[in-house]
Amino acid sequence: MLTSYIAATPAFADGTDTPRAFLERCLERVAAREKDILAFVETAFDRARQEADAATARWKAGSQRSTIDGMPIGVKDVIETIDMATGMGSPLFTGWRSGRDSASVMALRSAGALILGKTVTTEFAASFPGPTRNPHDLARTPGGSSSGSAAGVAAGFFSAGLGTQVVGSIVRPASFCGVYGMKPSLGGINRLGSHDFMSQSCQGVLAASLADAWQVLTEIASRAGGDPGYPGLVGPALLPSARRPRRLVFLETTGWPLLSEAVKAQMSEALDKLRSAGIEILGRSDNPEVEAVEKAITTSLEVTRLINAWESRWPLNIYRERDASKLSKDMRERSAEAENLTQAQYRRALEKRASIRAAYAKLAQVADGCVTLSAVGAAPIGLDSTGNPAFAVPGSLLGVPALNLPVLNEAGLPLGLQLMGYEQQDADLFALARTVETVVGVA
Amino acid sequence: MLTSYIAATPAFADGTDTPRAFLERCLERVAAREKDILAFVETAFDRARQEADAATARWKAGSQRSTIDGMPIGVKDVIETIDMATGMGSPLFTGWRSGRDSASVMALRSAGALILGKTVTTEFAASFPGPTRNPHDLARTPGGSSSGSAAGVAAGFFSAGLGTQVVGSIVRPASFCGVYGMKPSLGGINRLGSHDFMSQSCQGVLAASLADAWQVLTEIASRAGGDPGYPGLVGPALLPSARRPRRLVFLETTGWPLLSEAVKAQMSEALDKLRSAGIEILGRSDNPEVEAVEKAITTSLEVTRLINAWESRWPLNIYRERDASKLSKDMRERSAEAENLTQAQYRRALEKRASIRAAYAKLAQVADGCVTLSAVGAAPIGLDSTGNPAFAVPGSLLGVPALNLPVLNEAGLPLGLQLMGYEQQDADLFALARTVETVVGVA
C-alpha cells in the first residue's frame, strides 16, 4: 500500500488530483487501520488539512514551494515539533514540549510538506519497543527504532517518515515493513533539534519510493544543510538518473550464517540477476580487499555498542537520577554498563572504528558499491524485540549511505536488499539503486 | 582577587580551612560586589552551603570525591542546570527549564563541585551583551560571551566558571578580566546539554589559576568525556609539570596593527624575557611555515562568521518565527544573513577552514606552540560591545587549545598573553604555560 506523493504530483498541475485529495486518501487509510497498527503518538490532522488546501492552490497556480509541497509526512517522536509533544518513547518525556521544530522539520515545513503526526519510536531510539505493529502481519514487529515511520509508510498513512539510525533503526524497519529506507552519509542531514546526538547517529527517511526518499532528503539538505561541520547531502534537484554499476561487492556480514536456506537462495538469485545484467559481483573469495572488509566488520556491533554506551552515559545518568523507575530494564542496564566504561576504552573503540572505516574506504577502488541484505529475515513474530541488526550495523559504524530496497520476501513477508555506498556519495547510491531495483524487480 | 580553590585544599585536610569557610568568603565578596558587577542570572546559595558542609566532612575524613570536591563554580547560562533556569541571554528563554544538568554540570556535581549560580552570557553566546560589568573598572565591558563567568572569577565569587567559545568567548573575557581562560581542543569537553552546537564551538573554563583550570577540565573529561566522536581531553590527574619549550612561534595575527605602542612594547618585552630564558622565538620573517600560517589566518574571522551564520540558520529561523521582537537587531541581521547563504558557500568555507588548519598543523614540526596576545588591548569602555576578537578567533577556527595567561596589562588594566597549542595536546599546553607564566611573570 505504498503511496508515492511524487508520482501523484503531475496530476496536481493539471487538476485531476489535488494535495488535499491525496491527504484525504491517506487519512481514510489511517481511519481504517491506525487502531490496529498504532503508528502515531500524536497527530495534527486539522493543521495538515488547512496546509493541504494551501498547497492545492499553489500547485494549481504553478507556484508550489518545492517538489514535496503538500506531501504528508510522519516524524519520529525523538525529533522536535513546535505543535506536538516530543515523547522520545519514554515516560520521562510524555507530553514534553520543546517549543520548536527541529532543523529538518523546519525545512520540511518551509518546503510545504505537511507534518501529519509524531510516530512511535522505541525508548530514546534504542531497543525497548513501542506498541506499533507490522502492517503486513499485526502479530509481528515493524522493527525499530523508527517503528511508526516505517509502519506508517507501509500502511499508506503518509508518503515519507523521518527516522534516525545509530545501529539499524532505519534500514531494519524499512526491510520488515517493505518500504524504502535511506540512512545518509554521516552528517548528511542536519539533526539539530533531535534526541540523536551519538557520533554514528544519522537522520534519514523511510519512504514510498526512491523518488519520495530523494526529494525529502534533498529538500531538507538544501534548506537546513547537514550536521554542523559536515558538507551535507548534495545532488541533483530531482532523483538522480539511473546508473549501471560496473562492479558491486557482495557483503555477507556476520548475518549470513543466520539466514534461512530460502533467503540465501533468494539472495543468490538476486545476485544472478545482477550478473545477467552485466554487473560483476565480487565476493570475499574473489578479492583480498573484500575479504579484509568482511573481517573488519565482524566487530561492528561490539564496537558500536561500546561507542554508543559511552556516548549515552549522559543523559542516561541524569535520567536515572531523575526517576530510574521510568527507564526500561534495558536502559538501566545500558546506563550501568556505560558507567563502568572508561575514557580509555572509548578512545580505543574510536581507533578501532577508524581502522574499519579505512578498510572499507579501499573498496571505492574496487567496486561502485556494496550489496547485501537488510535483515536476517522477515519481521519476527512478537512485539518485544525489534529484530537482529546484524546486516544494518556495518553501514552505521562505517558512516556511509545505506539504502533499503523492498525487493525480496520471506514466505510472502517483506525483506529488503541493502545497498551501501561511499561517504558523501549519497546521490550516486540512488543512481545505482534505480538500476538494481529494475534488475532485481519489485517484490 | 583571584581565589584559587586548589591552593586552599591542603588546608582542608589539616582542618585549618574548610570548603564551607571558603564558600562563605566567596559569598561575602558576592554580597559586597554583585550589585555592581552583575555576574549572576540566578543563584543557588542554599544548596551550595549544604553541599559545602558535606564536602567539608569528606575532606576531613580524607574521602573527598575529587580534587575539586567543594569548589564553587559558576555556569554560563547557555549550559543546562536541573535546579536553575537556562536563559541563554535571550528574552525568548527567560525562565526556561530543561529539567536536566548538562553533561559537564553532571560531571562537576559528581566530582563534588558546588554550582553557585548561572552566569550572564551574551544573547545565545553571540555578540549582543548582557549587563555584566568588568570588576577592574565598572565602566568597562568584561568581554563576552562568557561575561559572567569571567567577571565572577575576577571578583572572587567563585574559583572557576564554565564558558563556551566559538569566536573569542573564553579567551577575550579572560584577557579583559585578568583571569586564566582555557578553550580546549575541538571536542575536548562534552558539550551535550548546552546551547553550543556549532562546529567550532567548545566548552571550556575561566579560572583563578592554571591548577584550577586544569582540575576542572580533567574532572569533567574523565567523567563525561569529550564531544561524541572525539577522544576528549586527556592528561595527568593533577596539573601537568612545567615543560620549557625549545621554540615558540610568535603570531601577529590581524590584530597586531590595532595595538597601541605601549602594548606592542609590552609584548616585545615578554618575548625578550622568553628569549632570555633560552626559548627561541620564531616570527613570520624567520620561517616560511610561520609566514604561511600568518597569511592563512588573516581570513579567520570572515570564514568563521560564514560558518557560524550557516550553522545557526536553525534555530534562528525558528526563534524569529516564534517572536522576532525578542531577538536583538544583531541577531535578526545574523539570521537574515544566514538565510541568504547557500549550502555551496558553506561547503567552500569548510574547505577553506580545512586548508587553514592544514597550514597550522605544519607548525608542530617547527615549534612547541604559539604565543600571541589575547586581545587588542584592555577592555574597552562601555557595555555595548564585548570587544574585538581578532586575536582569539584563529584558535577557534583552528580547533586547537588556546589559553589566556593574565600576565600583561594596559594602563593598569588586565591584558592577557595567549598560548596556542596543537590539537589534542591540551595537557602539553598547560605544561608550557607554567613555564611561560614563570618567565614572563604575573601581572
pLDDT (tens digit per residue) in A386-434: 999 999 999 999 999 999 999 999 999 999 999 999 999 999 999 999 9
Mean pLDDT of B178-200: 96
Q: Please tell me the predicted confidence (pLDDT) of residue B442.
A: 59
Model pLDDT for residues A263-312, shown as the tens digit of each residue: 999 999 999 999 999 999 999 999 999 999 999 999 999 999 999 999 99
Q: Per this entry, what is the length of chain A?
A: 443
Contacts of A222 in chain B (CB under 8 A): 343
Q: Please tell me the predicted confidence (pLDDT) of residue B99.
A: 86
Task: Please provide the distance, in angstroms rounded to a whole number, between the alpha carbons at the two ends of chain B.
Answer: 13
Q: Which residue of A has its CA nearest to B347?
A: A231
Q: Please tell me the predicted confidence (pLDDT) of residue B1.
A: 81
Does residue A443 carry a pLDDT above 60? no
- Residues of B within an 8 Å Cβ radius of A: 82, 99-103, 106-107, 190, 192-193, 197-199, 221-222, 224-225, 228-229, 231-232, 234, 310-311, 313-315, 317-319, 322, 343, 346-347, 350
Model pLDDT for residues B92-130, shown as the tens digit of each residue: 999 999 889 999 999 999 999 999 999 999 999 999 999
pLDDT band at B304; cut points 50, 70, 90: very high
Q: Please tell me the predicted confidence (pLDDT) of residue B313.
A: 94
Q: Please tell me the predicted confidence (pLDDT) of residue B109.
A: 98
Cα of A277 to nearest chain B Cα, Å: 37
Chain position carrying cell 523546519: A106
Of A82, A101, A225, the CB nearest to B310: A225
Mean pLDDT of B237-242: 98
Within 10 A of A195 (CB to CB), how many other CB atoms are there?
A: 23
Mean pLDDT of A195-202: 95
Q: What is the pTM of this model?
A: 0.96
Mean pLDDT of A106-126: 97
pLDDT band at A1; cut points 50, 70, 90: confident
Model pLDDT for residues B392-425, shown as the tens digit of each residue: 999 999 999 999 999 999 999 999 999 999 999 9
Cα of A265 to nearest chain B Cα, Å: 39
Of A82, A222, A317, the CB nearest to B106: A317
Q: Please tell me the predicted confidence (pLDDT) of residue A442.
A: 59
Contact criterion met (CB < 8 Å) for B314 and A234 = no
3-state SS string for chain B = CCCCCCCCHHHHHCCCCCHHHHHHHHHHHHHHHHHHHCCEEEECHHHHHHHHHHHHHHHHHCCCCCCCCCCEEEEECCECCCCCCCCCCCCCCCCCCCCCCCHHHHHHHHCCCEEEEEECCCHHHCCCCCCCCECCECCECCCCCCHHHHHHHHCCCCCEEEEEECCCCCHHHHHHHCCEEEECCCCCCCCCCECCCCCCCEEEEEECCHHHHHHHHHHHHHHHCCCCCCCCCCCCCCCCCCCCCCEEEECCCCCHHHCCHHHHHHHHHHHHHHHHCCCEEECCCCCHHHHHHHHHHHHHHHHHHHHHHHHCHHHHHHHHHHHHHHCCHHHHHHHHHHHCCCHHHHHHHHHHHHHHHHHHHHHHHCCCEEEEECCCCCCCEECCCCCCCCCCHHHHHHCCCEEEEEEEEECCEEEEEEEECCCCCHHHHHHHHHHHHHHHCCC
